[in-house]
Chains A and B, each alone.
Chain A
Amino acid sequence: MKAFAALLERLAFTPARNAKLQLLRHYLERTADPDRGWALAALTGDLELRRVTPSLLRGLAAERVDDQLLALSYDFVGDLAETIALVWPEGAEDDPALSHAVALLQGTGKAALPGAIAAMLDRLGPSERLAFLKLATGNLRVGVSARMARMALAGMGAPSVPEIEEIWHGLAPPYAPLFGWIGGGARPESAALAPFRPVMLSTATDLDQLRGLAPGDYFAEWKWDGIRVQAVAEGGMRRVYSRTGEDISHAFPDLIEAMDFEGSVDGELIVRREGEVAPFGELQKRLNRKTVGKGLLSSHPAGLRLYDLLLWEGRDLRAEPLEARRRVLEAVDFGPRIDLSPLLDFASWDDLAALRADPPAAVIEGVMIKRRDSAYVAGRPRGPWFKWKRDPMVVDAVLIYAQRGHGKRSGFHSDFTFGLWDGGELVPVGKAYFGFTDAELRELDRFVRQNTVERYGPVRALAPKLVVEVAFEGLNRSARHRSGVAMRFPRISRIRWDKPAAEADHLATLEAML
């Protein structure tokens, strides 16, 4: 438990992705099976444990600590598991294996659980108690995604991220065969039905680059603003995966039901009503749900717009040219929920530029350009596929708050909140962390220091003086934001030292872009 607890603590305080990856890789390299496998599963959310409720924990703590002192402590700490980890009376501190803690949480019956948890807490030091309680409450919150975990694994040995992704869904914690493979042993056979296969990604392009290519060698299609998914139906098993291999099937039973085919296809998950693709915000309502109610299924019906396919009726078509794969797709009737992304008719790049400038629907993010003869290759190969996104939307906003950054930006104010005018008042509409150069960052930092009017802990309120051009990819309505709208991928595209704050945009301008 000690090494796992130390890892969790370090990850919880480490903001930088590369540092997180390094910490994770070193932990996995230095820890023996099966503990490292359990740790990996816990971090990626693949560990099924009995969930311990806050009331059970409160009850345990009340037996050991005075009520009033516990209440005062909880008030100060603000997190129940942490409070209990800290106030729990010190016992004999030994170092039970993580697998022991996992076995306890997997195998203990309801009646015996409180006693077993108390006995475990008695054996642990404070940091390990917190790790154990976070495990028990299913709430690690250390900012490690499954994708990041697989990158750490790929850093340990020969298998690459796509190779690991390809077999990931056939594996179960504590992943001994996977670690065996990474250590130089045999590749585990994927036992999973309908497994995820690594997807092919595109690189960004522009007109200058395209002019060097022959338009006739390429297909072009709209880039739909949904979620790129892989839908797999094999041997009676049906699954929908995100492009990083997260299984999101449970949130989309309507699509699963419509997947009446045998194969693995690549497309855009969308919400569609009466043939029209709904804005991304509508799709977001369907995401991150354990179950979906009937109401949402009928008000926000999921659909799939196909781009490509990997396997069809038992045949792996990934090595075939795109043109051939597309012909297979065109011959199939997928029913009303699933259709094929149409090809665009263009003879020159200027034709395509004109189409891109005036798409037929607001949910189109740009165009995709793919070589007709391209094989389906895992990862992001340079060349065969391009995305040519539409120009971002922009507003001129006023900087109103700033916060210091971390890691490479320690000491610099690099996290900015900006606002738009609403009457005589600036309403915060978003936050941006990037878009500026290092030299601009130094200038912004100087501006922040010279124009701070108030401080709230690490946050500085600024005199409303500086206008920045904020570029973003889309807008959603949002009840969580005071302004009522949320930007996607906002970044500072230009600093308008020249523009008076009074001439910044109004909230109404943003609302009109919805």
Chain B
Amino acid sequence: MRADSILFPTEAGLFCPQGGFHIDPLRPVERALITHGHSDHARLGHGAVMATAETLEIMRLRMGDGFAGSVQVAEPETRIGGVTVGFHPAGHVLGSSQISVTAGGCRIVVSGDYARQPNPTCAPFQPVPCDVFVTEATFGLPVFRFPEPSTQVEKLLASMAEFPDRPHLVGAYALGKAQHVIALMREAGYDAPIAIHGALKALCDFYAFRGVELGALVPATAEDVAAQLVIAPPSAFASPWVQRFRDPVIGFASGWMAVRARARQRGAELPLVISDHVDWPALTGTLAELAPAEVWVTHGAEDGVIRWCELAQIPARPLRLVGYEDEAE
């Protein structure tokens, strides 16, 4: 069976007619399979949603109880219509999965967003042999080679020691990145309370409930915040909330921080290259490891990945799905 009749891009996103579902649909659909809880992948208003228990809970926390008509916790393997669907850890954020769709002896794996670096906050990426691998390409250029996260945490700790009187505000995406940064600090032995912006509280609580060690967290909403390290979502840095801090060092934790112009645009004084996506070596390494018959590229720097596939003689094509933010870090 031809892969592109099993699964193909539509205006609403990737669609599987035999199973009657979309994967990470961009607009409300009848049946949605969701890879992970980031808002550009997990949207409001679908009829039925299937995702991991963690992703469903994250969606409920972010969008409220009635975020979908009905929900179903994904099994490692399920039959839907004429296809077999599987959920496999993607190593991106808590609950994140790749979704495999198998029909007529052809298996397509939709990676969603994924990462290969060890991440203390979620299960590691699990390679699934497949005929077609659908990859993201957020950081699909050879300039993106992320350092060991521990080196970035050392950089942050060094700055906190260099400027002990200045609060350090680190911008980190509310789902995944914020908890990742906190967990990395804890791994490095930092055990002082860390202040978190109110927008992070529910998700941090959930991560802690699922057993991720985040240590003592205090609110960063008081007039006088009792912590040198403060984690907040990037959007908070444009709001008057920042004004309560005296002479802060502003950092951002993101893969984009690897490029200076991007870090400057953000107004970062302390760029921290911490990502929950694959960098170039991990992305191309994954393609080499899986050696699929074909690669489809969903979003990001498709041109770079497609050029690499051309050099590696793997057929590849862009899906040109519009709606996934490349800023989703």
Query: Which residues on A are within 8 Å of B, measured CB to CB?
Result: 6, 10, 12-16, 19, 22-23, 26, 65-66, 68-70, 72-73, 76-79, 82-83, 86-87, 90, 125-126, 404, 406-408, 410-412, 442, 445, 449, 457-458
A411 contacts B260, C-beta separation under 8 Å: no
A22 contacts B247, C-beta separation under 8 Å: no
Q: A76-B301, A77-B143, A457-B265 are in contact. Are A69 and B237 (CB under 8 A)?
A: no
What 7 additional pairs, Cβ within 8 angstroms, besides A13-B269, A76-B143, A442-B243?
A6-B155, A22-B162, A70-B142, A86-B259, A410-B247, A411-B239, A411-B242
Measured between beta carbons, the chain A residues less than 8 angstroms from B307 are: 66, 68-69, 72
Measured between beta carbons, the chain B residues less than 8 angstroms from A68 are: 307
Q: List 17 A-B contacts (CB under 8 A).
A: A12-B260, A69-B142, A72-B301, A72-B303, A76-B141, A77-B143, A79-B260, A83-B143, A90-B145, A126-B145, A126-B147, A406-B250, A410-B243, A410-B247, A410-B250, A411-B242, A449-B240
B267 within 8 A of A: yes
A78 to B264, CA, bound (A): 13
A78 to B143, CA, bound (A): 12
Segment 141-162 of B: residues with Cβ below 8 Å from A: 141-145, 147, 155, 159, 162
A407 to B242, CA, bound (A): 11
Q: A26-B162, A76-B301, A126-B145 are in contact. Are A13 and B264 (CB under 8 A)?
A: yes
What is the 8 Å Cβ interface bit string for chain B, positions 270-286, against chain A (1 contact, 0 not)?
11000000000000000
B118 to chain A, nearest CB (A): 19
Q: A13-B268, A23-B162, A86-B145 are in contact. Are A411 and B237 (CB under 8 A)?
A: yes
Measured between beta carbons, the chain A residues less than 8 angstroms from B308 are: 69
Partner of B267, one of A23, A76, A406: A406
A488 to B245, CA, bound (A): 32
B216 within 8 A of A: no
A411 contacts B143, C-beta separation under 8 Å: no
Closest A residue to B141 by beta carbon equals: A73
A70 to B280, CA, bound (A): 13
Closest A residue to B261 by beta carbon equals: A78
A163 to B132, CA, bound (A): 71
A66 to B308, CA, bound (A): 9
- From B142, B147, B239, B250, name the one whose CB has the most chain A CB atoms within 10 angstroms: B142
A410 contacts B261, C-beta separation under 8 Å: no
A414 to B304, CA, bound (A): 39
B248 within 8 A of A: yes
Measured between beta carbons, the chain A residues less than 8 angstroms from B303 are: 72
B142 contacts A87, C-beta separation under 8 Å: yes
In which size bucket is the chain B interface?
35 or more
B270 contacts A13, C-beta separation under 8 Å: yes
A389 to chain B, nearest CB (A): 31
A410 to B169, CA, bound (A): 11
Segment 212-271 of B: residues with Cβ below 8 Å from A: 237-243, 245-248, 250, 258-261, 263-265, 267-271
Closest B residue to A442 by beta carbon equals: B243
A105 to B268, CA, bound (A): 32
A445 contacts B240, C-beta separation under 8 Å: yes
- From A87, A90, A411, name the one whose CB has the most chain B CB atoms within 10 angstroms: A411
A406 contacts B261, C-beta separation under 8 Å: no
B311 within 8 A of A: yes
A86 to B245, CA, bound (A): 34
Q: A69-B141, A86-B145, A86-B259 are in contact. Are A410 and B242 (CB under 8 A)?
A: yes
A83 to B145, CA, bound (A): 12
A70 to chain B, nearest CB (A): 8
What is the 8 Å Cβ interface bit string for chain B, positions 31-48, against chain A (1 contact, 0 not)?
000000000000000000
Partner of A76, one of B155, B240, B259, B270: B259
Closest B residue to A19 by beta carbon equals: B163
Q: A72-B141, A404-B238 are in contact. Are A458 and B265 (CB under 8 A)?
A: yes
A484 to B243, CA, bound (A): 37
Measured between beta carbons, the chain B residues less than 8 angstroms from A23 are: 162
Measured between beta carbons, the chain A residues less than 8 angstroms from B259 are: 76-77, 82, 86
A19 to B164, CA, bound (A): 12
A76 to B247, CA, bound (A): 32
Closest B residue to A85 by beta carbon equals: B143
A411 to B270, CA, bound (A): 16
Q: A13-B270, A86-B258 are in contact. Are A407 and B143 (CB under 8 A)?
A: no
- From B241, B243, B263, name the one whose CB has the most chain A CB atoms within 10 angstroms: B243
B261 contacts A411, C-beta separation under 8 Å: no
Measured between beta carbons, the chain A residues less than 8 angstroms from B268 are: 13
A53 to chain B, nearest CB (A): 21
Closest B residue to A455 by beta carbon equals: B238
B261 contacts A407, C-beta separation under 8 Å: no
Measured between beta carbons, the chain B residues less than 8 angstroms from A76 are: 141, 143, 259, 301
What is the 8 Å Cβ interface bit string for chain B, positions 181-221, against chain A (1 contact, 0 not)?
00000000000000000000000000000000000000000
B237 contacts A65, C-beta separation under 8 Å: no
- From B141, B258, B264, name the one whose CB has the most chain A CB atoms within 10 angstroms: B141
A6 to B267, CA, bound (A): 19
A83 to B141, CA, bound (A): 11
B267 contacts A404, C-beta separation under 8 Å: yes
Measured between beta carbons, the chain A residues less than 8 angstroms from B147 are: 125-126
Closest A residue to B259 by beta carbon equals: A77
B284 to chain A, nearest CB (A): 10
Measured between beta carbons, the chain A residues less than 8 angstroms from B270 are: 13
B143 contacts A406, C-beta separation under 8 Å: no
Measured between beta carbons, the chain A residues less than 8 angstroms from B162 are: 22-23, 26
Closest A residue to B237 by beta carbon equals: A411
Closest B residue to A15 by beta carbon equals: B269
A87 to B158, CA, bound (A): 27
Measured between beta carbons, the chain B residues less than 8 angstroms from A457 are: 265
